[in-house]
Structure 1
Amino acid sequence: MTTSDDTLLLFRNTMRITDGHLDDFRGAIARAVEFARHHGPQLMVQTFVDEERMLAHSFQLFRDSDAVRTHWRLADPHIQEVMAHCRVEHFDVFGEPDDDVADAIRSAVGEQGSLTISPRIAGFTRFVISSSA
């Protein structure tokens, strides 16, 4: 039996902020997260900045691969704005995206960064995940 926990996808994106772009990066992230809060399918979005190392870490939790595709379709302009100020250094996927989403992530990360996909073994959530977007 498949439960909603079986399809959850947690993304951790580690981004190297371009020198001199920290303030612009912060603004672009704030606008992207606010857009996701009101329009995105994510169950959770959190972003953290390590100014000393000029790294940012973004965590996004999705219900399933369909939610990821919806996010990409809706948020592309915001994603492009953020990426104008950084590059992906490492991208971690926790869970098992479908082949199309996994291939799209591999393509997006490309050779500029590294990618890890870790299948889920066990876990639970303490919050209710509704089936509506």
Structure 2
Amino acid sequence: MTTQNDTTLLFRNTMRITDGHLESFRSAIVRAVEFAQQHGPQLMVQTFVDEERMLAHSFQLYRDSDAVRTHWKIADPYIQEVMKHCRVERFEVFGEPDTDVVAGVRSGVGEQCSLTFSPRIAGFVRFTAASQA
């Protein structure tokens, strides 16, 4: 059965924060998330920091592959600013992006980190129109 949720994509990005860059990383993430909240296509963005291990975990939920492409197009300056203070250690894609997004993710992370793709088995989303505003 095909539903609207069949195209939903969840990205989990695990970043290693550069020593001495924690506060700059935090500031860059806050600016990037504020931009995404105002202008981005994401349905959800959440970022968490494990200061003891100097790791950050970012989760981004997209409606479909077109939304990912839109994000890449409009948010590149913010992504570049964040990347000045960390490196991607692991990138996980949950769902089935189209071939262009798969290629974009692969080229974006290159050989620098572990990259996995996990197709959906089952699920649902409870977001309402009011919570997406």
Smaller-chain TM-score bracket: over 0.9
Tell whether 2:53 aligns with 1:53: yes
Q: Structure 2 vs 1, CA of residues 66 and 8 (structure 1 numbering), >3 Å: closer, same or farther?
A: same
**TM-score, length-normalised on structure 2?**
0.95
Query: Gaps spanning 5+ residues in structure 2: where?
Result: none
Moved over 2 A (4+): none
SS class of match (2:115): strand
Aligned pair count reads 132
Matched, 1:75 2:72: no
| Displacement after TM superposition at 1:129 (Å) | 6.2
Once the two structures are superposed, what CA deviation does each residue of 1:78-100 show, in whole Å capped at 9, x if it has no partner? 00000010000000000000001
| Identity value in percent | 78
Q: Return 5+ residue gaps in structure 1 as ranges.
A: none
Paired letter, 2:7: T
**Tell me, what secondary structure is at the counterpart of 1:107?**
helix
Query: Which deviates more from structure 2 when the two are superposed, residues 21-30 or residues 104-113?
Result: 104-113
TM-score normalised by L of structure 1 = 0.95
State the 1:126 CA deviation.
Answer: 1.2
